[in-house]
Amino acid sequence: MRDARRRLLVAALLLCLGMVSVAGADELPRVRLVATGGTISNRDGGRLSADELVSLIPDVRRFARAEAEQFSNTSSSQLTLRQWLALARRLNELYASQADLGGLVVTSGTDTLEELAYFLHLTVRDPRPVVVVGSMRNPSTLGYEGAANLLEAFRVAASPDARGKGVLVVLNDEINSAREVTKTDALRLQTFQSRTAGVLGVVDADRVVFYRSPVKRHTADSEFDVSAISALPRVDVVMVYQDAAGDLIQAAADLGAQGIVVAAAGAGATSGTQSDGLAYAAGKGVVVVTTTRTGSGRISGTRSSGPPPAQAGAAPAPAGATTPPRPRRASIGGEDLQPVKARILLMLALTRTKDPVEIQRMFLQY
C-alpha cells in the first residue's frame, strides 16, 4: 500500500513538473529572426535559409520561442539602400502589429554589418531590442561560430534588460552598441569592437549581463521616420591623403551628391586641393561633414577659413591690390562617428533639412 502511494505521489510530482515546464515554455518571449544573408548562412553549395539557421541553434527553446523569416539572402555589401529602407519598414511593421513580440534578431554579413546596424538604430522606432548578428566563418568551415552567435543573439533579444538600449550587435560573447561598434580586423573572430567606448555587456553561460546603456538618441526616441521615404539622398565619403586632388570632390558635387563626409587626417586636416573642392561643393549647396580617419576621436563643428575656389575666366587681381579677407565656411562636425556612420546619419538628416545648424544638432544628439 505504501509503495503504491509513493508511486502515485511521484507520478503527480512529475505531472506537475511537466505542467510547469510547458507553462514556462509558453511564457518565454517570442523572438523572430529576420535573415538577410551574409557569411553566417553562406555554406558550400548554397545559402542556408532563415529556418535552417534557427534549426542550427543549440537549446534555443530554453530562452525564447524562436521564429524565422527570410528578408533576403545575399552578402551585406550587395544590399542596397532601398533594401535597407524596406528592412527598417518591415521591422517597424512587425513591432507595430505584434504587441507580444519580445525581440528581433537580424542576420547580416560582417563586411558592412556596422552600417546596417546603425541605420536600424536610427530608424526602428520601438524600445524593444533589435540584435544584429553575423559570423566570420561560414557553415562549411571548421570552427564555424554562427550557431553560437545566433544563440547569444536570441538570448539578448529575449532579455528584458535589452529593452531601451537600441540596436545591439552581438558576436563573440560580447554586446556592443550599433552606434559605436566597428569591424577592426578582416579575419579574426574578435573583430567587432567599440574601442574607447567599450562593450555594453557580455553573454555568459549563466546570464546576459549589461554594464552600461547608450546615452545618445536612438530607436524609440529617433526623429527619423522612413515609412514614406522611397530613396535616400546621395552622400559620398572622401578620404584625406597626402596631396589629394579636390577635383574628386567637385565631381561628386557635379554628379548629384547632396552631402559629403570627409574622413580627415588627424583632427580635421585636408590636403592638396581638397579645400578648394570642398568650397566648390559648399557653393553648390552640398552639406559637408568632417570626421576623422584615425578610428577614434571627436571632431567638433567649426567655422574654418579658406580661399574661395578659382572662378573659370576670372581676371587676376591687379598688382598691389589688397587681398580680401578669406571667407569663412561652416563645417559640421561629425563628432566621434566613424565616416561610414556619419554618412548614414547625414543621409537621414538630409531627408528632413539642409540647414547646417539643424544637422549639427543631429550629430550632437545622435
Active site residue 107: no
- In 10 A of CB 163, how many CB atoms? 13
* Cα–Cα dist 259/257, whole Å: 5
Of residues 291, 285, 324, 284, the one with CA closest to residue 305: 324
Q: Which three cell numbers stand for residue 113?
A: 554589418
Q: Which three cell numbers stand for residue 344?
A: 548614414
Contact predicate 366/330, CB 8 Å: no
* Cα–Cα dist 308/283, whole Å: 9
* Cα–Cα dist 250/293, whole Å: 21
Q: Which three cell numbers stand for residue 93?
A: 511593421
Helix (H) or strand (E) holding 308: none
- Using alpha carbons, list the distances in angstroms from residue 328 to 117, 279, 298, 305, 307: 36, 10, 21, 4, 9
39, 112, 123, 270: the active-site residue: 39
Q: Which residues are part of the catalytic machinery?
A: 39
